[in-house]
Structure 1
Amino acid sequence: MLKKYIGDRKFYATVMAVAVPIMIQNAITNFVGMLDNIMVGQVGTAQMSGVAIVNQLLFVFNLCIFGAVSGVGIFTAQFAGSQDHVGVRHTFRFKILVCLLLTALGTALFLLAGEPLIRLYLKGEGKVQDAGLFLGYGMDYLKVMLFGLLPFALANAYSGTLRETGQTLVPMAAGIGAVLVNLVLNYILIFGHFGVPAMGVRGAALATVVSRYVELAIVALWTHTHGEKEPFIRGAFRSMFIPKQLTGRILVKGMPLLVNEALWASGMAFLNQCYSLRSLDVVAATNIASTIWNVFSVSFLAMGNAVGILIGQKLGAGEPEEEVRSADRKLIAFSVVFCLGFGVALAALSRVFPQIYNTTDTVRSLAASFICISALFMPFCAYTNAAYFTLRSGGKTLVTFLFDSCFVWCVCVPLAYVLSKYTSLPIVPLYFLCQATEMLKCFLGGYMLKRGSWIQNIVQAS
């Protein structure tokens, strides 16, 4: 019985060869993000909360970029699996164009509506002057961060294409270089060292912006100087031509992922806004909890990416259905077991991590509870994430839309809204009930995988 969930040594070596570089890159990025958060937290709770609110809003933009790049990446992975370099080139061009469009839209939105969006998170119990400080620091941070939207988007277009063609080490190296720059500049700019005046939240934002340009420079320079390894880049910018038929297929199959990621991320932002109705302390506590969660969540996110890439390549190569099913079953089982260990480690740190922050005991206690609850549901997140990437690899973007963002808006958001708005339920059990919806999502994911409609080659007709 268990044998069908267990692969051989070669199988796991292949999985880890894809997953580990992604995991390392994301872990380093999120770890430095955590240090960034801690550094800002040392300045004060108001600064930390203002930055946290803005990062929640920027998270929606980041996920839109991720969704757009990943949606096109479904085709990139299958073109790479069939050794079609021209097809890869066309998908790369599409990524560049959609990233430019989203950056323009995102910048305009934040310039016009940044302040009203931040105010949505400042309606909970607390001092009026505290809310004013949160808003002021948040706006200071946002104004600088806008300069980092374009390099972030373009770096994702390059890195995503490299990963989908099997080159995972270069994006990892670029990520490492960027976060090291970010870490050093954070130390200098936030607190004021080596003769530089202390800039606080503006310094944190400036460090992030510079690091994003560094990451883009590394991946772009490597790609353009290694055309023999990445043939798609040769002539990629001689024109921006993309075949009409392929464009139509990407819009039908890939762009729903953009909508999905946008709705899912905005759903997460709305959930946090519901939590914030309890008090301003909850804003700070959810920020602390999400910071360490981001570091540990790289386990199931990297495994999910590995599932999407490996299954996509198998589908593109035309492998038999049973072989694809078998590989997917083993990948998902490995992901769940792997992330169970991460969940245990996260729970062990739930009482320790909040003590690092310069904040109140109430905020620390709430953060510890949120971390422990998140750790409990990590294996469930691993399963649903792997199921999502499996469905996506076969181009079932409408199904993933229903499975992911529709679930958030039809189940999680209404539950959080009703409990926070119309009951006096304390925030900790409220948070637990909202997180527990992940178990229901597991059953839905299992049903969709069993149907097998996701097993299809979507590039043959391109």
Structure 2
Amino acid sequence: MSASIDTNLQVSVTNRQILQIALPISASLIIPNVNFITNNIFLGGLGIKELGNAGITGVYYLVLMVGGNGLGNALQAIISRKGGEGKPEDIHKVFAQGIRITLWFALGGMLFTWFVAPFILQYFITPDNFIQEMDFLRIRVWGLPFLFLFQAGNAFLVGTLNSRFLLVGTIGQAVINIFFDYTLIYGAFSFPQLGFNGAAFASVIAEISGMIIVYVVIFRMGLKKEFNLFKSFKYDRIYSKAVLEISAPLVLQFVLSTVTWLAFFILLEQYGDRAKAVSNAMRTIFGLMGIMIWAFASTSNTMVSNLIGQGLENKVVKAVQKTMLWSVGTTLCMLAVLNIFPYHFLGLFRQDELFVAAALPVMRVVSIGMIMMSIAAIWLNAVTGTGKTKMNLIIEMAAIVFYLVYTFTIVKKFRLSLAVVWSNELVYWVLIFLISFWFIKKGNWRVHGEVI
């Protein structure tokens, strides 16, 4: 089986190389979004209140999940750099320290959810929703360590140009999640009927399963032997520091970015259950339509880091531009289908005609925002690939401040329509693009691009 492993870890700036990295990633991203949509469909069957509450609990857990994504992106960038430098023998050291740090982050997220989050969220969530949402989160957070380990395994696969193996773990996780969603929410096949909390238990079971599957793949495909993985988890100051220095700004960037979603949903409390439910459906669109965007964004991260490792800084902009064109093209195709057949998608949530009527104009605005996202996310992840992740944090903070001021003004001061409120995504991504583009074109990463 090990014969199918990529031993040449240096990328080339070709459409074929871009697609070889991006397509398996996109395929793997489809699965968690199918899980998310399935959750919302099943919870929508319980009522509009449950669908709305799923928005806040989903965004809160997303905040924790993207912390793991930040660690994963850092690991991916460092592993890609080592591959570009022709130093695969160092990858196992990076990966081991990444796992150590990942588990500490997971523990911190669990403790925060159990003991701190309830005191913060009770001031922003109506009392009749608060108990249901906190009960859900206290169960859901048990899956965090397994999710983070799953993400670390995926980062290793992408960083070593073995992204084609991603699909195995994600398909297994999806099948398990959908099965337990249905059985535990509704009590099918003699399983206990747990209602809203059934989705939490199903997700935890799926995350445990996904983690097991991805590491079985690493062992079975010979990657453990090829890269001498799991040799030692002893603390290594040099590589631990490298992972932390690259990942800390990314984790903070990702968390801040997603906290804005949480703040957004909290602001929508005053718009009522229907607005929250519509916005949760729009978040589903971001997840589903953004699959290709994030796949190409991850590809941009990998290619930029690898090219710098090869000393080919002069090819970075060309690689980013090629990747961006693929991102924009695929996004336009997906959005065209969505906007031609909007009733088919919105009908999945099993709500009334008032829900559909309220959602249609919001969907049009979200589509415009996603076109800008398909451009900006590629350039932002190119910044990640340079190793200058502090710049990622600066970009994110600037965009978030503008986003929050814009949103607060529209919601609190003018109380405009939900469709206008959702224009905040367009504003956010325009600013992300402008700063990221400027940095890649004019920044000093060419001189100081070393990860370690």
* Length-normalised TM-score, structure 2: 0.90
Q: 1:387 to 1:434 in 2, by over 3 A?
A: closer
Distance between the aligned counterparts of 1:77 and 1:228, measured in 2? 15
Query: Of residues 31, 34, 38 in structure 2, which corresponds to 1:31?
Result: 34
SS at 1:194's partner residue? helix
- Alignment CA distance shift 1:196-1:334 (3 Å): closer
Cα distance change, pair 228–18 in 1 and its aligned pair in 2 (3 A)? closer
- CA displacement at 1:231 relative to structure 2: 3.0
The DSSP-based 3-state class of the residue aligned with 1:387 is: helix
* 2:93 aligns with one of 68, 90, 95: 90
Q: Pairwise mapping of residues 104-183 of structure 1 onto structure 2 (< 5 A)?
A: 104-119=107-122, 121-122=124-125, 132=128, 134-183=129-178
Residue of structure 2 aligned with 1:418, choices 409, 413, 420: 409
Shift in alpha-carbon separation, 1:401–1:192, aligned structure 2, 3 A: same
**Cα separation, 2, equivalents of 1:435 and 1:120:** 29
Q: CA deviation at 1:439?
A: 2.6
Equivalent residues of 2:149, 2:211 under 8 A apart: yes
Deviation at 1:378, TM superposition (A): 1.6
Q: In the alignment, does 2:227 pair up with 1:232?
A: yes
Counterpart among 14, 19, 34 of residue 16 in structure 1: 19
Amino acid at match of 2:279: T
What is the match of residue 374 of structure 2?
382
DSSP-derived class of the 1:352 partner: helix
Cα contact 2:139–2:201 (8 A) shared by 1:
yes
**SS state at 1:404 partner:** helix
Q: Could you tell me which of 39, 53, 56 is aligned with 2:56?
A: 53
- Structure 1 stretch displaced more, 15-24 or 112-121: 112-121
Correspondence for 2:320 among 325, 328, 345:
328
- Name the structure 1 match of 2:298: 305
Q: Which runs of 5+ in 2 are unaligned?
A: 1-11
Q: Which amino acid aligns with 1:259?
A: L
Letter aligned with residue 364 of structure 1: V
The aligned amino acid for 2:299 is: A
> Are 1:396 and 2:399 counterparts?
no
- CA drift at 1:83: 3.2
Whether the 8 Å CA contact 2:399–2:431 is kept in 1: the answer is no
Does the Cα contact within 8 Å between 1:34 and 1:292 map onto a contact in 2?
A: no
Question: CA–CA distance in 2 between the matches of 1:263 and 1:56?
Answer: 12
Report how far residue 357 of structure 1 moved: 2.4
Query: Residues of 2 paired with 1:384 and 1:10: CA distance?
Result: 20
Match of 2:5 in 1: none
The Cα shift of 1:416 comes to 0.9
**Shift in CA distance, 144/247, structure 1 to aligned 2, threshold 3 Å:** closer
Q: What is the CA–CA distance in structure 2 between the aligned matches of 1:218 and 1:346, rounded to whole Å?
A: 33
The equivalent of 1:6 in structure 2 is none
Deviation digits for residues 88-124 of structure 1 (CA, Å, limit 9, x no counterpart): 112212221221111111111111134345445535x
Which residue of the other structure, out of 253, 257, 264, is the alignment partner of 1:260? Answer: 253
> Is the contact between residue 227 and residue 233 of structure 1 (CA under 8 Å) also seen in structure 2?
no
- Tell me the secondary structure at the aligned position of residue 455 of structure 1: coil
Give the RMSD, CA atoms, in angstroms: 2.3
How many correspondences in the alignment?
Answer: 441
Is 1:455 the counterpart of 2:419? The answer is no
Q: Is 1:430 the equivalent of 2:425?
A: no
1:73 to 1:358, Cα distance in 2 relative to 1, 3 A: same
Q: Compare 302-311 and 330-339 and name the one that shifted more.
A: 330-339
Q: How far off its partner does 1:337 sit?
A: 2.4
Contact 2:61/2:141 (8 A) holds in 1: no
